[in-house]
Amino acid sequence: MKTIQNEFLIIGSGIAGLSFALKAAEHGSVAIITKKEKAESNTNYAQGGIAAVFSPDDSIKYHLKDTLSAGAGLCHPEAVQLLVEQGPNRIKELIDWGVEFSKSSDNSFDLGREGGHSKNRIIHAKDYTGSAVESALLSATKRHPNIRIYENHSAIELITEHHLRQRSIPAGSLLHCWGAYVLNEEERQIITFLAKATILATGGCGQVYYHTTNPRIATGDGVAMSYRAGAVIANMEFMQFHPTTLYHPQAESFLISEAVRGFGGILRLGDGSSFMEKYHPMASLAPRDIVAQAIDAELKIRGEECVYLDITHIDSDAVKARFPRIYEKCLSFNIDITKHPIPVVPAAHYACGGVQSDIKGRTSIIGLYAFGEVAHTGVHGANRLASNSLLEALVFSHEAICDAKNFVKTVTAFPDIAEWDDSGTFNHEEWILISHDKIEIQQLMWDYVGIVRSNLRLNRALRRIKLIINEIERFYKKTKITQGLLELRNLAYVAMLIIESALRRKESRGLHYTTDYPHRNDRYWLKDTIVVRNSQKTGE
């Protein structure tokens, strides 16, 4: 079996992984593994922008207040303070790496506003900010001699004490991570990637839902692997549903940026009437959880399939200049957004929970770091404030390298790690049966674990997902590994974590709304929901 050894192993090639790699490469060799092409990530699909304080009428205090308010009491204040204070510096680093943000006529940043923000603070590159950031970071990593990117490589499992030839693990001892077993999809070869520090930057898990804005690679790999390895997982019940994705059979839940509402867009019903003023003082600019729940309620009350985002009252040239990608995409479906309202529905968008990590990106497994959407840093609480996601990835990747560059110096040798046993045969007939599990997972999560939940729905979903996991595990143990099988297995575990976490939180807060406990309960539930493998622990 082939073995590759580096100081740093980064799993994922979005903004979190690439920004870390550029800094880590100054302290040792860096390997980046990515499932598809290196530009395929949630970062690449981000439209709106990055929130940071640059306006003279804005302040760190306001950004902090807005973030804490959106998080509905569950944000970790020290993490949010770090986020908003470090934001401007991290944006300046992106500019140094070659990102060109949109400017106003006076050469200052063209700052937009999105739901939940009290000030204009969204720095953007029109409506393709993520793509601009990803492109600049990839160009910078290509130029660095200490960085190598392995495309079409899928992580199978994290290497811990469970994979040592001598597997004795004393009770109560801390786990360590020394890298990962990785599938080279093109050559059908399993490689042992050893590293002194392993970084999870695998992004989100939106593909666990039938309707999602996330790309096909967003299958929750980092969370699932970490859970199986024994890491602490937190707040998986808080899945953010973006309120406005294009409603069209061929659109694949194309994201209509929150910046459209910040630009003056108004949400309307089929009869043309606005409705958000009934649900929140900020009307169409309310936080995402409020807007998604309001749309869901109106659709159920009226039996309609979508609502409409109307920006036809704004100057058409200004709309085209600010949202060129959205304009062209909608026009490809014969929707001219300057003349006709955009049909929209909510779709799964962002996981506010994940692998629990501290403000240095350290997880409960020594040598394993996590930041970006895969992680629960405490920044987002029960609901992420718009455009804080890319910012979180930048800020915490910076904090992580400040710690990891010193940690790798303490690792002088690797233990005796067993080779991966890839014996087995691939049963195409049985794979056809197993592959149907993906559709079933996505559908049951959408139907039972969506915007509105209940104990009845959640318990039904949990019973079925456990059966599916058993089916997948039986197949997994007797067949050769493929990327499709790895993703299916990870989706099933992530679905289970979301369901179990939702069942444990007996209240409604932020993105988690249950009809059995419709009110927020700060007396008992002002805490994170913690899940650890083979444990029933809840709370901090």
User: Helix or strand or coil: residue 486?
Assistant: helix
What percent of the chain has a predicted confidence (pLDDT) above 70? 94
Which residues are tagged catalytic?
A: 288
242-348 topology per CATH: Flavocytochrome C3; Chain A, domain 1 (3.90.700)
Instruction: Give the count of beta carbons closer than 10 Å to the beta carbon of residue 313.
Output: 8
| Torsional sign, CA 107, 133, 29, 229 | positive
Maximum average pLDDT range among 127-131, 137-141, 231-235, 281-285: 231-235
User: pLDDT-derived band of residue 535, with 50, 70 and 90 as boundaries?
Assistant: very low
204: which 2 tokens? Answer: 């989100």
Q: Specify which residues 8 forms β-bridges with.
A: 30, 197
- Transcribe 414-456 into DSSP letters: ---BPPP-------HHHHHHHHHHHHHHHHHHHHHSSSSB-HH
Residue with the bigger pLDDT between 169 and 333: it is 333
3-state per-residue secondary structure call for 93-106 = HHHHCCCCCCECCC
Rounded mean pLDDT, 312-325: 94
pLDDT tens-digit series, residues 109-151: 999 888 789 999 999 887 778 788 888 899 999 899 999 999 9
Angle at 142 between CA 138 and CA 145, to 5 degrees: 140
State yes or no: pLDDT of 421 exceeds 50. Answer: yes
Rounded mean pLDDT, 331-342: 97
C-alpha gyration radius of the chain: 22
Instruction: Give the count of beta carbons closer than 10 Å to the beta carbon of residue 363.
Output: 26
Q: Specify which residues 60 forms β-bridges with.
A: none
> CATH top-level class for 3-238+352-410?
alpha beta
Report which of 148, 201, 154 is spatially closest to residue 16, judged by C-alpha positions: 201
Residue with the bigger pLDDT between 285 and 71: it is 71
**pLDDT in the model for residue 38:** 53
Report which of 350, 382, 387, 351 is spatially closest to residue 507, judged by C-alpha positions: 382
Report which of 218, 219, 153 is spatially closest to residue 192, judged by C-alpha positions: 153
Q: Residues spanned by CATH 3.90.700.10 within the chain?
A: 242-348
d(CA 484, CA 463): 23
| Cα dihedral 156, 157, 158, 159 in deg (nearest 10) | -110
Q: Whole-number mean pLDDT of the chain?
A: 91
Rounded mean pLDDT, 37-48: 54
d(CA 505, CA 514): 9
428-529 topology per CATH: Methane Monooxygenase Hydroxylase; Chain G, domain 1 (1.20.58)
**Length of the chain, please?**
540
Q: Residues spanned by CATH 3.50.50.60 within the chain?
A: 3-238+352-410
d(CA 182, CA 509): 38
**pLDDT in the model for residue 246:** 95
State yes or no: pLDDT of 44 exceeds 80. Answer: no
d(CA 225, CA 486): 10
Quote the pTM value. Answer: 0.90
**pLDDT in the model for residue 168:** 60
Angle at 112 between CA 316 and CA 335, to 5 degrees: 35
State yes or no: pLDDT of 74 exceeds 80. Answer: yes
d(CA 273, CA 181): 55
User: pLDDT-derived band of residue 253, with 50, 70 and 90 as boundaries?
Assistant: confident
Residue 67 and residue 136 in contact, taking contact as beta carbons nearer than 8 Å: no
State yes or no: pLDDT of 537 exceeds 70. Answer: no
Residue with the bigger pLDDT between 30 and 254: it is 30
**pLDDT in the model for residue 170:** 61
Residue 34 and residue 203 in contact, taking contact as beta carbons nearer than 8 Å: no
Amino acid at 480: K
14-28, 75-89, 169-183, 211-225: segment of lowest average pLDDT: 169-183
User: pLDDT-derived band of residue 281, with 50, 70 and 90 as boundaries?
Assistant: very high
Q: Which CA distances in Å does 128 have to 21, 139, 247, 260, 327?
A: 23, 17, 20, 13, 12
State yes or no: pLDDT of 40 exceeds 60. Answer: no
Q: Residues spanned by CATH 1.20.58.100 within the chain?
A: 428-529
pLDDT tens-digit series, residues 176-198: 999 999 999 999 899 999 999 99
| Cα dihedral 27, 373, 86, 141 in deg (nearest 10) | 40
Rounded mean pLDDT, 205-229: 94
**pLDDT in the model for residue 167:** 62
Q: State how beta strands 147-150 and 153-158 pair.
A: unpaired
Residue 332 and residue 211 in contact, taking contact as beta carbons nearer than 8 Å: no
State yes or no: pLDDT of 451 exceeds 70. Answer: yes
User: pLDDT-derived band of residue 162, with 50, 70 and 90 as boundaries?
Assistant: confident
Residue whose structure tokens are 């056809």: 432
136: which 2 tokens? Answer: 């600049």
CA 90 vs. chain centroid, Å, equals: 19
Instruction: List, in order, residues 6 or more apart from 255 with CB less than 8 Å away.
Output: 45, 47, 213, 242, 244, 245, 246, 349
pLDDT tens-digit series, residues 466-518: 999 999 999 898 888 889 999 999 999 999 999 999 999 999 999 999 999 99
Residue 8 and residue 195 in contact, taking contact as beta carbons nearer than 8 Å: yes
